[in-house]
Amino acid sequence: MKLKSIALAGLMISGTAFAGPSIDTIDPPVAPMDDPACSTQWCSPYWKSMPKLEYVFFAAEAADMLTTLDIKNHPELRETNPILGSHPSDARIITYGSVTALIHSSITYVMVDSGVNPKVIKAWEYVSIGAETGFALHNYKLGLRFKF
């Protein structure tokens, strides 16, 4: 969780590094929601507008969630995420993973719909995927596995 917060803060701070050419030299991109034909805030079709890397994030989040579900079979291990607690229930783990995926995809959608530079969106995806993959690998190294 700390890693996600640090990565998000770093991404926000370094966002100007991905800004590209000066606004004076190019026409600013038009966000889908600024299109005159768009009468609501949410103009882009959700699933069609999402970058393909969002689905990779979903897979990494699922791997983290599924390995964490195995913690109940290892009484000697404790969950380190303070939101989940030391020995979280399956319902709490699934709810947390689902809410995390929903929040992530919502942020991604708003970035896409607002016309944020694609390089920033790609960086957001890579950092998120890296963090979630790291959590899943950490769980796997501890001996946690996908068990149904």
Percent of the chain scored above 90 by pLDDT? 55
Q: What is the CA radius of gyration of the chain?
A: 18
pLDDT at residue 113, as a whole number: 83
How many whole angstroms from its chain centre is CA 63?
13
Residue 30 neighbours by CB under 8 Å, 6+ apart:
115
One-letter amino acid of 134: G
pLDDT at residue 63, as a whole number: 95
Look at residues 40, 61, 27, 58 and name the one whose alpha carbon lies nearest to residue 113: 40
pLDDT at residue 47, as a whole number: 67
> Is residue 61 pLDDT above 90, yes or no?
yes
> Is residue 59 pLDDT above 90, yes or no?
yes
Give the model confidence (pLDDT) of 64-105 as tens digits: 999 999 998 899 999 999 999 999 999 999 999 999 999 999
Give the model confidence (pLDDT) of 22-51 as tens digits: 445 555 555 555 555 555 555 666 667 789
Write down the pTM of the prediction: 0.69
Token reading at 121: 């969106």
Contact 121, 104 (CB under 8 A): no
Give the model confidence (pLDDT) of 97-134 as tens digits: 999 999 999 999 899 888 899 999 999 999 999 999 99
Tokens 């800004």, residue? 19
